[in-house]
Amino acid sequence: MAKQYRTPVHTRGRLASLLGAGLAALCLVTGCDDVSGESAGESDSEGETPALRDVHLLGELGDGAFISIVADEDDVVIYACDGEDDNVTMNEWFKGPHDDGAFELTSKDGAHVSGQFDAETATGSLTMPGGAAIEFDALVEDGDAGLYVLDDVDFLGGWVVRDDGTRGAVINRTTGDLVTGVSFSLGASTAIVQEQTFTIALLSEPVINL
């Protein structure tokens, strides 16, 4: 009767390891489906748009008015202004949620803004009460450009700083009136309002008291 030979246990384990390594290498070259039916490298979130974060965009509205958009994945703050100090007719703040970059907001004064943004660009329109819609585009700008704010108990100030100029104003929170005679200094990071010196800061997130 012929002898039957069995592969030793330790040898079988070694063969299994070699076979597994070979299959893994083959998958790297050709791609293999996993047990769930998804190909290597795929995930449940494939096709979803990444959340919007750290959005800082600047643009122009019509003749000389500036607009700034600051947003994260949930909320957006928009500020539009057409002058400085006492030469201001547009001074509108908007704040609220957005839907994957789509927004439609109304200010306390009844101005309306709507549009769409991503991390690098924005398009939309702003309509003042009783006025026509003003179209705008916004882009990322470098250097000191951005939206600077004074967020105090008594005063709310905003300055849109671009390479081609600055537009900004301060209002009295109690009366809602425009405050004139304001001295804004980007270099010193200060604003002097009614003989009081306030620190101004670049708005990096859509967090401000309106």
Question: Please, what is the average pLDDT of the chain?
Answer: 83
Q: Name beta bridge partners: 168.
A: 84, 159
Chain segment 121-171, per-residue pLDDT in tens: 999 999 999 999 999 999 999 999 999 999 999 999 999 999 999 999 999
Average pLDDT over residues 192-206: 97
Whether the CB-CB separation of 178 and 171 falls below 8 Å is answered with yes
Average pLDDT over residues 182-210: 96
For residues 92 and 41, the model is more confident at 92
Q: What pLDDT score was predicted for residue 50?
A: 55
Q: What pLDDT score was predicted for residue 51?
A: 67
In words, the CATH class of domain 55-202 is mainly beta
If phi > 0 it is left, if psi is from -120 to 50 it is alpha, else beta; for residue 37 that is left
Against a cut of 0.85, is the pTM above it? Answer: no
pLDDT tops 90 at residue 3: no
Whose structure tokens read 């201001």?
A: 88
pLDDT tops 80 at residue 11: no
Chain segment 88-121, per-residue pLDDT in tens: 999 999 999 999 999 999 999 999 999 999 999 9
